[in-house]
Structure formats: C-alpha cells, structure tokens
C-alpha cells in the first residue's frame, strides 16, 4: 500500500509540472509559446515520428495478454495476466501488477484553441534536455495507433527504490474535445528491469476508437 501511494503521488507531482508547462503554452507565458514555435526547425520534424516496433519477447507478452477497455475514452490496452484494476474514472485509468508495477493514465481536457502541436514539440525539447542531463535514457517522437506523441524512458534513479518510469504523452481530438493523454508505466528502480518488456508491450498495444 505504501508503494501504491508513492506511485500515485509521483504521478500527481509529474502532472503539477506538466500543468505549469501547459499554462505557458496556452498563453500564460507568451515567450514560451513563441520560443517553441520559432525553434521548430531546430528539432526533429514531427512527421519523422517512429511507429512502435515490438521485439519478439514483447510481442509474445502482448499476444498472451488480456485486453482491457477504457469505455469513457474509447482506449484499450493489453495487460499481462495478474494485472488488476485500481481505479477507473472518466479522466483516470489505473491498473497495477502483483509486484507493484503500475499503468497510470490521465486525460487532460484542453481548450478548443490549445496549441497541441507546439505543446508536443515543447515536451520533446524538454525531454531531450533531461536526456542530456542524464535523467532519461531514450527520447523520441512516437506515433501510437495514429496518435502523435513523445515517448521517453527514465534512467535509474539515484535512490534505486525510487520510482522509474516509461512514459508517453500524446494529443488528440475525441468527441469534439481536445485532449492530452499521459500514459505512465512505473515501478521502483530495482524492479524496472523485470518489466523492461512488459512496459513497451503494454504501451505499444494502445488502441484508440476512431
């Protein structure tokens, strides 16, 4: 239970930081929005976003997994045997494994004029900075089932019992609403390698109602 509370807290803290960034992008800080737009030619173009490519081990996990659906949002994942529902609401979808690995998903509704392309690019640039600082191991644009987003995987935390995450953020318009979808797969650092194939298999199994 302690680890569960920690994972949810870590997710909430991550969203606090995201919230500040989103305020800047939606007009709270004009310089941030302009900077993102003006420097678009200095980063990899969005059209170069990769498609998920599962390894044989990851494909095997996906093939034997169970499909779960988020009815309110029209999204499905394939989860390994033993993963159980923690909490599912209109804007949150949380499952956990028997050994305290977590799938934590959050939908953030955006205004009709929210600059989704600029925001996605800003997350990409921010993630590249984190990789240069040694916090992230990998960063890339990733298109999952037709939805463009940014994927990154954290490096081992200094406290190996601290949270380590594999995360993807994308944007879409669903039922007339602009949304940011944040998918986080997390466990403590010492448990991460055990799930090094589970996490991509789960993330790349994401399917959206068209």
Q: What is the CATH number of the domain that holds 198?
A: 3.40.1000.10
What is the C-alpha separation between 67 and 25, in angstroms, rounded? 35
Grouping H, G, I as helix, E, B as strand and the rest as coil, residue 180 is strand
The fraction of the chain above a pLDDT of 70, given in percent, is 77
Mean pLDDT of 145-160: 97
**Which candidate, 19, 37, 38, places its Cα nearest to that of 28?**
19
Relative to beta strand 66-70, strand 75-79 is antiparallel
Residue 3, pLDDT above cutoff 70: no
Work out the pLDDT band at 48, boundaries 50, 70, 90.
low
At residue 70, the pLDDT reads 98
At residue 49, the pLDDT reads 78
Mean pLDDT of 38-52: 55
Residue 40, pLDDT above cutoff 80: no
Residue 46 Cα distances to 99, 142, 147, angstroms: 36, 9, 11
Mean pLDDT of 141-157: 97
Which one has a higher pLDDT value, 40 or 209? 209
Contact status, residue 145 vs residue 205, Cβ threshold 8 Å: no
At residue 20, the pLDDT reads 47
Residue 121, pLDDT above cutoff 70: yes
CA 86 vs. chain centroid, Å, equals 18
Residue 100, pLDDT above cutoff 70: yes
Burial class (CB in 10 A: 0-12, 13-18, 19+), 81: exposed
* Segments forming the whole domain that contains residue 158: 2-208
What is the C-alpha separation between 175 and 210, in angstroms, rounded? 10
Structural domain count of the chain: 1
CB atoms within 10 A of CB 161: 12
Contact status, residue 108 vs residue 171, Cβ threshold 8 Å: no
Residue 66, pLDDT above cutoff 60: yes
């Amino acid at each position: 239970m302690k680890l569960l509370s920690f994972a949810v807290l870590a997710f909430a803290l991550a969203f606090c930081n995201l919230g500040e960034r989103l305020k800047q992008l939606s007009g709270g800080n004009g310089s941030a929005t302009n900077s993102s737009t003006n420097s678009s030619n200095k980063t990899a173009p969005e059209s170069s976003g990769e498609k998920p490519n599962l390894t044989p081990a990851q494909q095997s996990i996906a093939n034997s997994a169970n499909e779960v659906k988020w009815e309110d949002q029209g999204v499905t994942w394939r989860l390994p045997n033993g993963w159980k529902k923690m909490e599912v609401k209109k804007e949150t979808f949380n499952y956990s494994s028997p050994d305290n690995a977590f799938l934590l998903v959050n939908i953030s509704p955006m205004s009709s004029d929210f600059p989704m392309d600029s925001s996605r690019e800003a997350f990409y640039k921010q993630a590249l900075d984190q990789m240069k600082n040694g916090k992230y191991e990998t960063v890339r644009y990733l298109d999952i089932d037709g939805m463009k987003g940014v994927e990154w995987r954290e490096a081992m935390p200094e406290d190996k019992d601290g949270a380590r995450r594999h995360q993807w953020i994308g944007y879409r318009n669903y039922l007339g609403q602009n949304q940011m979808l944040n998918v986080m797969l997390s466990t403590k650092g010492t448990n991460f390698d055990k799930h090094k194939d589970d996490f991509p298999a789960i993330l790349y199994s994401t399917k959206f109602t068209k």
